[in-house]
Amino acid sequence: MAELNGKRIVIAGGSGFLGLSLAEHFVEAGGQVTILSRSQPKRSGRWETVTWDGRTPGNWMESLNGADAVVNLAGRTVNCIKTPDHQDEILRSRVESTRVLGEAMRVVSSPPPVWVQMSTAHIYGDPPTAVCSEESIEGIGFAPMIGRAWESEFARSQLPGQRGVILRTSFVIGRDRGAGSGALGTLGLITKLGLGGRVGKGTQGLSWIHEYDLNRLFTRAITEHSMSGIYIASAPNPVSQVEFMRTLRKSMGMPIGFPAFEWMVRIGAPLFFRTDPELVLYGRYVVSKRLANEGFTFTFPRLEAALEDLCRKKMLRHAI
């Protein structure tokens, strides 16, 4: 696989769960990768790390000069209690990093011709049953507001004539490469404790994507010149929360999974997991019409095979 054929790609916010997975994928596909991070690398690899602060112009801008593509993943995790200061950082880390990337691209003499921008499928809010596509209206509340601010800043920051692709990404399931395994690690731990059952009503949608398919989408966004604008990055078969946990239990060989009532989650999530209970009490079903129309084939269209892949490679068990 040498689809990237020496292309130089800058990944802003590439030091985390998704960034390390993507960096590895790009390198294996023949790319040369530079990660922009606020700190020294947590894990070394066949890429270079350049320091930035995610908001101020500096020497790091030179890494964009002559690059073939930039991918922007930077953003403080939303997996936390939504105190005012956390909310502020969730917003600023996304908008300011996007803005300063746009400023940098206006300074360098040879800016990347394509910018692939992370966004969130949570922009559709938490409709209980509707299946959202790229044509659906955006939702209301904190997460949709963040998504809109992020994408609006991207639209303002993109260079005239630069190809831009936004990936509104759902819950990514993947392995731990030294920067955590996202929310799947927590769900795996809960499952191991025998608590991986229905949460609240259990009918809330859980849209997901295997990291391998997400990495393939980022690669396609870089190499396929017809790709432009907003796409939903999510497997074509989203499931309910109760179905997700049933499949996870099966993959992990855990026969029981006690349910949690809404009141338990509202008390337990902030107390034991320092997170926002609404992340599990609500959800959404999203499916990409554009990827289907443009002929993208998912390697992992179904959850069972996706989770089995992670378990088979001992990735999931290792991660939790």
Footprint on this chain of ligand NAP (rule: CB under 6 A): 13-19, 37-39, 54, 73-78, 89, 93, 97, 118, 120, 169, 171-172, 179-180, 182
H/E element holding 33?
A: strand 32-37
Min dist CB 60 to ligand NAP, Å, is: 11
Q: Both ends of the chain: CA-CA distance in Å? A: 30
When the beta carbons of 74 and 310 are compared against ligand NAP, the nearer one is 74
In the structure, how many helices (H) and strands (E) does the chain have? 11, 13
- Alpha carbons within 13 angstroms on the beta-carbon side of residue 291 total 27
When the beta carbons of 34 and 97 are compared against ligand NAP, the nearer one is 97
When the beta carbons of 77 and 133 are compared against ligand NAP, the nearer one is 77
When the beta carbons of 150 and 296 are compared against ligand NAP, the nearer one is 150
Min dist CB 255 to ligand NAP, Å, is: 27
Min dist CB 229 to ligand NAP, Å, is: 18
Q: Token digits for 275?
A: 């997170």
Min dist CB 89 to ligand NAP, Å, is: 6
Q: How far apart are CA 80 and CA 83, in angstroms?
A: 8
When the beta carbons of 198 and 284 are compared against ligand NAP, the nearer one is 284
Q: Kindly tell me the burial class for residue 22, based on how many C-beta atoms sit within 10 Å of its own C-beta (0-12, 13-18, 19 or more).
A: buried
H/E element holding 217?
A: helix 211-223
Residues in the chain: 320
Min dist CB 39 to ligand NAP, Å, is: 5
Residue closest to ligand NAP, measured at CB? 16
